[in-house]
Amino acid sequence: MKITQVSENIWSLRTWAIIPIHVWVVTEEDGLTLVDAGIPTMGKGIRKFLKQLKAGPLKRILLTHGHSDHVGALNKVLQEQPVPVYAHRMEIPYMEGEITYPGRKKPAQSIEKHLAQPLKEDENGNLLRMGALTPYITPGHSPGHVVYYHEKDQVLLAGDLFTSKNGKLHRPIPMFTADMEKAIRSSEVVRQLKPKRLEVCHGNPVLHPVEDLDNYIDRTLTKQKVLKS
């Protein structure tokens, strides 16, 4: 597993399974946050790195969404450190296999029932900050997909909202994306936050992604139209 320090408080851990798969570890005042849980074979490496950091105990796991390549090492990590696991309330019934992800033929349970709890919201439905990360709902790739923004480090952990190639934004993998046009609309979160660096699960980082955003939207919408016509 390749470990990279992304910013002052964030590390990325990467493995390969045909495509690259990243998870992120964030140092917090009260310990550590793990964002996403990759595939099962990453479990050992994640556990080892959490110890190696010597930055306190794991406090929470935040999920961008419930696809199997984002929750695979959950059990292995939780065996050692039982901590709360959070995902968006809209995503939970899909990952628990209660309802079928749009575009799929049948429900697919990727996580044990009641293992994940909903991200906290205020009375207006805004997602509350968890440790140093603020979640933003970004549906499209999956119905309850969220990204996590680290304000202090100005890093956006974008999960599968995008992939990337040669330092540019690319669309999420079409085969696994429920609603591409919605995913493209959700990319506006980049304009709102203007992160210095954007991390994706399946690709390399994109620096100053807002500079590529209009281009990304044009390129991807064109591709969508070509496919539909």
- The site for Zn ion (CB under 5 A) is made up of 67, 69, 160, 201
Beta bridge partners of 134: 149
Smallest separation, CB 152 to Zn ion (Å): 26
In angstroms, what is the minimal distance from the CB of 1 to Zn ion?
17
In the complex, what is the shortest distance from the CB of residue 145 to Zn ion, in angstroms, rounded to a whole number?
Answer: 8
Q: DSSP 3-state assignment of 218?
A: helix
User: Which residue's beta carbon is nearest to the bound Zn ion?
Assistant: 67
Helix (H) or strand (E) holding 180: helix 180-186
Stated length of the chain? 229
Q: Min. distance of Cβ 199 from Zn ion in angstroms?
A: 13
Residue written as token pair 């995503």: 91
What single-letter DSSP state applies at residue 115?
S
Count the Cβ atoms, other than its own, within 10 Å of residue 119: 23
Pairing of strands 10-17, 2-7: antiparallel
Nearest distance from residue 45's CB to Zn ion, in Å?
A: 18
CA–CA gap between residue 178 and residue 201 (Å, rounded) = 17
Query: How far, in Å, CA of 11 to CA of 6, rounded?
Result: 5
